[in-house]
Amino acid sequence: MIRAENIFKSFEDNEVLKGISTEFFPGKTNLIIGRSGAGKTVLLKLLIGLLKPTTGKVFYDKVDFFSLGKKEIRTIRMQVGMLFQASALFDSMTVEENIRFPLDMFTNMTWKEKKDRVNFCLERVSLGKVNDNYPSEISGGMQKRVGIARAIVLNPKYLFCDEPNSGLDPKTSIVIDELIHDITIENNITTVINTHDMNSVMEIGDNVILLYQGQIAWRGNRDDVLHSDNEVLHDFMFASPFLQQLRDSALQK
């Protein structure tokens, strides 16, 4: 479990996060949603430790992350997988080398064991025969899957995804969402997803927090969304008249 406790973050005079306290649970897909500029990415970067909060604490299980030394932080990070918005695959390495990189760096596995693990992860994300391709030679959706394969190769306890659906068509987005959701349940991972895709909220939102102007404006799960009377949530989720009509008809039924 990851717990954020009263997080404030400012960049010079600009206060981006104002007292965020929340929990992210294992075996669930925890979503951080909100409009652009709401502070989602800053919160995600704080949770991973790429940024430091102005005040506040982040706990990984019961460990206060920011009180740790560099060595201990690296030990925790070896239990973390991350899928980046643009996948962040290393251009000069093949797909196989990308996924194998954490294994090469942190394990003493034999070449065959590594090869098997890479192939297992590729199969898990439904990719085959792309081992020798470079990231530039595969599609955006495939790159995301490779990113997921790389993120899970060390069997992480925590998985972070920064806008996993950005730049993908709706069909592929659903496939990626389901994949993340399934992997989360299979391995009891604490998954934190940063998204503004409403499909993701309705499909995999086990635990959702809505950020608005640096604060948590709403929290719940996908089943609560339709029945909530929170205006900020409704403005965000059902932004267009068409979606508002859909919501109304769903509620009438």
Contact footprint for another protein (CB under 8 A): 48, 50, 74-75, 77-78, 80-82, 84-86, 88, 90-91, 101-102, 104-106, 154, 160
- In degrees rounded to 5, what are phi and psi of residue 95? -55, -45
- Which residues, in sequence order, are CB contacts of 30 under 8 Å at separation 6+? 24, 190, 191, 192, 193, 206, 207, 208, 209
If the CB atoms of residues 78 and 202 are measured against another protein, the closer one turns out to be: 78
Q: How far is the CB of 150 from another protein (least distance, A)?
A: 8
Q: How far is CA 14 from the centre of its chain?
A: 25
Contact 190, 25 (CB under 8 A): yes
If the CB atoms of residues 105 and 250 are measured against another protein, the closer one turns out to be: 105
Q: How far is the CB of 107 from another protein (least distance, A)?
A: 9
Q: How far is the CB of 121 from another protein (least distance, A)?
A: 14
Q: How far is the CB of 135 from another protein (least distance, A)?
A: 10
Please name the residue that has the structure tokens 């942190």: 106
**Residue 174 to residue 165: CA distance in whole angstroms:** 8
If the CB atoms of residues 73 and 202 are measured against another protein, the closer one turns out to be: 73
- Which residues, in sequence order, are CB contacts of 84 under 8 Å at separation 6+? 147, 162
If the CB atoms of residues 77 and 234 are measured against another protein, the closer one turns out to be: 77
What sections of 1-126 are H helices per DSSP? 40-48, 70-77, 95-106, 111-124
If the CB atoms of residues 64 and 104 are measured against another protein, the closer one turns out to be: 104
If the CB atoms of residues 39 and 147 are measured against another protein, the closer one turns out to be: 147
**Residue 79 to residue 239: CA distance in whole angstroms:** 37
Q: How far is the CB of 91 from another protein (least distance, A)?
A: 8
Q: How far is the CB of 215 from another protein (least distance, A)?
A: 26
- In degrees rounded to 5, what are phi and psi of residue 180? -65, -40
